[in-house]
Amino acid sequence: MKIVILGGSGYLATSICFYLKKKNKITLVTRNKKKINYKFKDVEIKETNYLSSKSLIKIFDKKDLVFHLVGTNSRFSEINKKKSLDLKKKTTKSILEAAKATNTKIIYFSTAQVYKNINKSNVNEDSKIEKRNQYVINHLAAESLILNDIKRNNSGHKIIRLSSVFGMPFFYNSKETFSLIINSLCLQAIKEKKISIQDSSVIRNFIPISMFKELQKYLFLKKKYNILNFGYKTISLIDIAKIIQKICLKSFNVSPKIICKPNIKKRKLSTYQSKFFSIKKKKEIIVNENSNLLKLIYKNA
């Protein structure tokens, strides 16, 4: 299958590329080729203007799928609310125009944070959504454009609402790698010999990046599911910190101190799942992903 990945210099794009390139022909697309200063074997790298549908049409031509990962992160979105929203809308419109012209299907990577009670109750694709912050508003704006296109043109595009990703980067020096919450805790553990958690009550659904080896088959489902939830296991940050601490002691003979305010109330762990498929959840996958990442950080420290 011929796949175009937009936003090609980012952590998620390069990681997905790593797991999909063995069985598919990948074209990584970026605004600036200099941001991809590492070599990909059998991967084409293209530079484009995401606001130009003409430029995108040339790249999409004779391709099967386009992965849309273009957009600003949560921090930039909050600081530059109008700019980030306008950019998301304009780029998505250009991508949709190019996809229509080339008869190419889009897979848009959204966020699990669109759901109203994502950290409090069980969630699937039918659960209520909420515009809680600018980052979520931007994703929902892109989703709306794509869903309207599906309805209007029967285009067969798909939206993946992804939970919090973590784990081994394909490109270690990517700026996004250690802005991810678990990745940042692993970096703290090795470099500062401590793990600081501001809010011990935080519970999230996390998905190891290596799970894309298994989940990629659902990306290519031909059934007309417009929206799919991709998640793995709900776990508290405290439990994640304890896993990281245990791995550090075993692998490096170092026990980073966990720093956080005690949480008196115990919260029930909610589930983040899809009503269309299920996967077996194994604790060792979470442990192994953290272990591999910690070893990589230790090696590069």
Tokens representing 159 are: 């939206």
Contact 95, 50 (CB under 8 A): yes
Could you give all domains of the chain from N- to C-terminal order, each with its CATH number? 2-164+208-230 (3.40.50.720), 168-207+233-267+280-300 (3.90.25.10)
Contact 256, 193 (CB under 8 A): yes
CA distance 140 to 155: 19
- Angle (CA) 229 173 138, round 5°: 40
Q: What is the largest CA-CA distance in the chain?
A: 59
Supply the pTM of this predicted model: 0.94
Number of Cβ within a 10 Å radius of residue 100: 17
Provide the residue-wise pLDDT of the chain in tens; the chain has 301 residues. Answer: 999 999 988 899 989 998 898 889 999 999 988 777 667 778 999 999 999 999 999 999 999 999 999 999 999 999 999 999 999 999 999 999 999 999 999 999 999 999 998 888 899 999 999 999 999 999 999 999 999 999 999 999 999 999 999 998 876 566 788 989 999 999 999 999 999 998 877 889 999 999 998 888 888 877 778 999 999 999 999 999 999 999 999 999 999 999 987 765 667 788 999 999 988 888 799 999 999 999 999 998 7
Q: Which residues of 260-293 are buried (b: 16+ CB within 10 A; e: fewer)?
A: beeeeeeeeebebbbeeeebeeeeebbebbbbbb
DSSP three-state, residue 233: strand
Quote the pLDDT of residue 225: 85
Tokens representing 12 are: 């998620």
